[in-house]
Structure 1
Amino acid sequence: MSSSSGILGSIQLNSISQHHQIHIPSASHSNSPQPRPLNLPRQDLLDDGRREEFLEICFPLYKASMAGDWENAKDILDKRQELVRFSINRNNETALHVAAYKGNTFFVENLVRLMENEDLELQNSSSNTALCLAAVAGHVKVAEILVNKHKALIDITGCQEKMPLYMAALSGKKAMVKYLYKNSERMTSGFWTDESRGRVLLACVEAELFVFLSDGYDGLVNEGNQAMELLRIIWGHIMKLSKTKIDDMVRGHPDQITDDKYYSSDVLFVAAEMGNTAFIVELIRQYPEQVLALNDNKQSIFHVAVTHRYRGIYSLLHVLGSMKESIIDLEDENGNNMLHLVGILSKTTRSDYLLKDIPGPAAQLITDLAWFKSVCAMLPPSLREKKNKAGIRPRELFNENHKELVARGVEWTKKISSELMVVAALIATISFAACITFVGGYNQDTGKPVFTDNKHLNSILLSNGVSFILASTSIFCFLSIISSHYTETALFRVLFIKLAFAMTFLAESIIFVIAAFSYNFILLFPKKYIQSQYLLTTLSYMVSFLFLYWLIGRQYWFLATIILDDKFLPPKRILF
């Protein structure tokens, strides 16, 4: 990973809620400390001439360290306590390395009592101390034991000169990052440089360790308050530097030192690619000019958000005021405007999380259709039909790249329609038969139904009749979907609307069938069994609601969401 040098300077924080003092001397790149010589454990028992001794002692100790079996390990160490500083495998790991990575807290707690501080500093072949391995694995309890024994371990680098805190951030271990940051004197010791601090911040952005805001920005998660407050403090002090220095900090090192420089480690665009809305909101509040920043492809963070389908970032456009006009007019190096980007599919393009219960192709297509409509409404008419450098309009690009999704989505829709049509046919058959077959039979003298004068019979006939009509209507809708030949994405939207109506009619027909079923119980059961009537009626409704939950809860409301397009409403909270 490329580093963002100089983003953080010397930081002194007693508590987020108390007085803060942050000193950022300059944006220049600090020189990294010279790598320390590798501090390996003793390797006496790894010699080929002592193979039998290795198998007799080291191998059992290794197995005990892996399993957290302190009793067996103690039996071995009681005989030869010097083994705590010996390599017990070919990776030059001590028993502490192995147990720390596995998170065997009880084992580590007892083992460190037999070790000196120098023993805890031993490194394996990858230069990692036991604390480094615990940091990567996220075992906070193990880290607490090691740091309480020898606090200097926090400042001993591991693989590729990475601090344990940095390694925890790279691994996305939030609890470990919080613990090590608190105990590292807020990264102010002499072992920390501007570059290493910058790396930690960038790693936190990439691991989404600062993402504690919801998509609607309704509030902060409690445990994230300190992290967000820290970010505000850092940026508040960075803002005191010159614009050139701030831009250098945000942009980071170039990937290639040639005539053309590429900055893939730009903190702002890393956050945009990860969908880190909270970080971007805070940065824009502190440094509003960054909304106009462009990456190497001449795209703004909002163009990146459209490419990756992050509506939390994209929706910020609604609250930028006049700056929005400058952003929506931008075109990238290929002449693509924001609407072109909606039509481009890539591996990083994701389906909306609200549609997680819908199969992939349909979810992606539904999401992209909503995105296209939303972005199209925001752009001026002149850009909606503007060609890129390849001579392709946005709609043409969208249709071309979504052909396969349309085909797969139509296939999924027709499959669902076929399955539901079977259910609708069964409901129609049952309700039709119930309409012409009267409860209790006919009076042999008059030829009329026995329960003609009973008010519940009319309710039964009405419920069955309405159910038959609704089920028949849904069958016609499903047949219309199955026999359709939609290929264009615009017509595919009509297909989903038809499916929504068909599902609605089917759901209502089931409700009326259950109603007729309930009236039958009331009509036939004697009054003394009224409790049985209520019980059977309740059970019948419960069964029907299970089906309706699947039908409506998982298949219907996503269509209503797309029809209403309420997913792309502006956020309630303003930036400034």
Structure 2
Amino acid sequence: MINSDDQGEDEYYARYWPLYRMIEKNDWLGVEDFVTNDPDALTAKTFAPGSKTIFHAIVESLVDVESDDATCLLDKLASKVDQQTLARLDEHGHTALYQCAGKGNLRALKVLVKYNPDLTTIRSKGDHLPVHNAAYKGHKDTFRYLLEVTHGVDIYSGNDGARVLSYLIDANLYDVALDLLKLHPTIGRDSIDSRGIVLNKLAQKPYAFATPSMKAIHEQKLAHMQTVEIVRIICKEVIWTCHRRELKGALFTAARLGIHEFVNEFIMAYNKTANVLNEDRRSIFDVAVLHRREKVFNLIHRVNFTTNLFLTEGNSGNNILHLAAKLVPSSEVAGAALQMQRELQWFKAVEKLIHPDMLGDENSSNQTAREVFTEEHKELVKEGEKWMKETASSCSVVAALIITVVFAAAFTVPGGSDSKGIPNILHEPSFMIFAISDILALFSSISSVLMFLGILTSRYAEDDFLLSLPRKLIIGLVTLFFSIASMMVAFGATVHISLSHKWNLVIIPIALVGCVPVTLFVLLQFPLLLDMYSSTYGRSIIIDS
């Protein structure tokens, strides 16, 4: 048996279903004709599935936000109903204006505000205002307009203020958030932990603090400056109490993600930042070491550094050197050997800063920091050894082939020799170029083989990865590159001697083709050489203040 209420509801939907389809298709003339013939459609509570009014449906279906026909129709229809009709909620507890704010349809929103200004203060079921929805969805112009027309509610204080800032940051509208903070420096400050919530939002956006590259550099740099300024203003206004969970959460999140600008603002605003500990009894510098955040760790120069700063031990009895001894997976360096080198650099850098008495300290597992380092990195040492040997073996084969070629070329003089064994073209510039480049290729390739042989026969102790092995690989790659280049110069000189008197036009194409092997080697091996050199001789972990 069919329930009479269900039957009535079905008839109700069937009555207004054609109107709903017209709105979906943006058939605004058809909508106007339908409403003219059936005025009850303007006040129907469930004219479409989901308890929507006609105003909800129109706002939801607007595809072209600048549609003059849709905006004019909305204006006509809104003028025919009372304010209570415009203020009706859908099944989600939203007014049509709230939906409009989320879509960023400023023209339609202005129409609704014109006929019921109080719509801006009607909250959703989640206690959100339309201005919050515009901020969350990232509609800058709509948000600014709603700021101007929202009256009777103090949206700059309490949870409302905190939400506005949080949603603007969620939407990456840093310029709007900064302008708002400058106009209202105390926004959201009286809400419990509200500023901490905002700081947490920023701390979870490391890309907002990233140093911009050449691409879109202006916009990225501007966003970078705006986010730093937002943090600075908030830190000045916030009430600094160490036990504030949200503030600590933001601080340690920033330290973990390596946002040094963020941490720096904390340090400048609160000079005891270095003494703040998280739930694991670790300071920001402990966290920086644990996650290998070099720039955050270098802020240590701003906190009147003494060795006493590192006396704190975590819940496992690990001091900061134990943390430096732990293996941290990294995507910043390529190859196991380079990662092992970086791990050693961190360990040595922290080792220089701590008090000598701490070197022998044991953790709760009765292990010193060095013992932890050895245990944590034993697999990485094996992988680094394998990587080094494979690289050295491959390169040494190439170097050995070059030795064979250039050694034989030294006894096969182009142009022939006289009866005394003196080259016939001894005084030709091309011959001198051939002779010099051939000798350079021979000596450099022999040097390269010796370096790679030194790598293959190394004992592969942990500390060898710090300087000894990388230095040998750098020298080996440089001399190998030089030997290839010299060999190709010798080849070019030989071609010139053989063909210059007959085939002048052929020499240039042959010389260009001869550059291909050198170019290929540079493209394949130069990035590795550059990474190795930068890691070995580049900037140290700790930068002197």
Give the structure-2-normalised TM-score: 0.71
Q: Partners in 2 of 1:52 and 1:158 — Cα distance? A: 43
1:132 equivalent to 2:129? Answer no
Q: Does 1:570 align with 2:543?
A: yes
Partner of 1:21: none
Choose between structure 1 and 2: higher helix proportion.
2
**2:111, 2:277 → 1: CA distance?**
57
Q: Is the 8 A contact 1:477 1:499 kept in 2?
A: yes
Aligned length: 490
When residues 570 and 476 of structure 1 are mapped into structure 2, their CA distance, relative to the original with a 3 A threshold, is: closer
Q: Tell me, what secondary structure is at the counterpart of 1:560?
A: helix
Unaligned runs of 5+ in 2: 1-8, 27-56, 213-219
**Alpha-carbon distance change, 318 to 329 in structure 1, aligned in 2, over 3 angstroms:** same
Paired residue for 1:110?
107
The secondary structure found in structure 2 opposite 1:505 is helix
CA RMSD of aligned residues (A): 4.8
Instruction: Tell me the equivalent position of 1:252.
Output: 244
Q: Percent identity?
A: 23
Q: 1:339 aligns with which of 316, 321, 326?
A: 321
**Matched letter for residue 451 of structure 1:** I
Alignment of 1:193-208 (within 5 A): 193=191, 195-207=193-205
- Equivalent residue letter for 1:381: P
Q: Is the 8 A contact 1:129 1:158 kept in 2?
A: no
User: Does residue 1:169 correspond to 2:169, yes or no?
Assistant: yes
2 CA distance for matches of 1:129 and 1:122?
6
Identify if the C-alpha distance between structure 1 residues 163 and 569 changes in structure 2 by more than 3 Å, giving closer, same or farther: closer
Match of 1:298 among 269, 281, 284: 281
What's the counterpart of residue 21 of structure 2? 56
Give the CA deviation at 1:314. Answer: 1.8
Q: Is the Cα contact below 8 Å between 1:86 and 1:94 reproduced in 2?
A: yes
Structure with bigger gyration radius = 2
What are structure 1's unaligned runs of at least 5 residues? 1-43, 215-219, 239-244, 254-262
CA distance in 1, matches of 2:502, 2:88: 83
Q: Of the two structures, which has the highest relative contact order with CA contacts closer than 8 Å and spacing of 6 or more?
A: 1
Deviations 1:19-49 (A, max 9, x none): xxxxxxxxxxxxxxxxxxxxxxxxx99x867
Name the SS of the counterpart of 1:296 in structure 2. Answer: coil
Match for residue 551 of structure 1? Answer: 525
1:464 aligned to 2:438? yes
Q: Secondary structure at the match of 2:317?
A: coil
Q: Deviations over 1:377-409 (max 9, x none)?
A: 222333223221211111111121223333333
Q: TM-score, normalised by structure 1?
A: 0.68
Q: Give me the whole-angstrom Cα distance separating, in 1, the residues matched to 2:271 and 2:73.
A: 64
Aligned to 2:463: 490
- Partner secondary structure for residue 155 of structure 1: coil
Which of the numbers 66, 69, 87 marks the counterpart of 2:64? 69
Superposition pairs of residues 125-524 of structure 1, within 5 angstroms? 128=128, 131-144=131-144, 146-147=146-147, 150=150, 155=155, 163-170=163-170, 172-181=172-181, 185-188=184-187, 193=191, 195-207=193-205, 211=209, 246=240, 248=241, 250-253=242-245, 265-318=248-301, 320-321=303-304, 323-345=305-327, 349=328, 351=330, 353=332, 355=333, 358-359=334-335, 361-440=336-415, 442=416, 449-478=423-452, 481=455, 486=460, 488-493=461-466, 494-520=468-494, 523=497
Deviations 1:397-425 (Å, cap 9, x if unpaired)? Answer: 11212233333333433443444345435
CA distance in 1, matches of 2:369, 2:204: 31
Equivalent-residue separation in structure 1 for 2:400 and 2:503 (angstroms) = 34
Distance 1:328 1:197, change over 3 A: closer
The answer to whether the 8 Å contact 1:187/1:197 transfers is: no
Cα deviation code 1:221-261 (max 9, x no counterpart): 666667656665665677xxxxxx74x2x4314xxxxxxxx
Query: 1:134, 1:143 within 8 Å by CA — same for their partners in 2?
Result: yes
Give 1:460 shift. Answer: 0.8
CA distance in 2, matches of 1:542, 1:66: 60
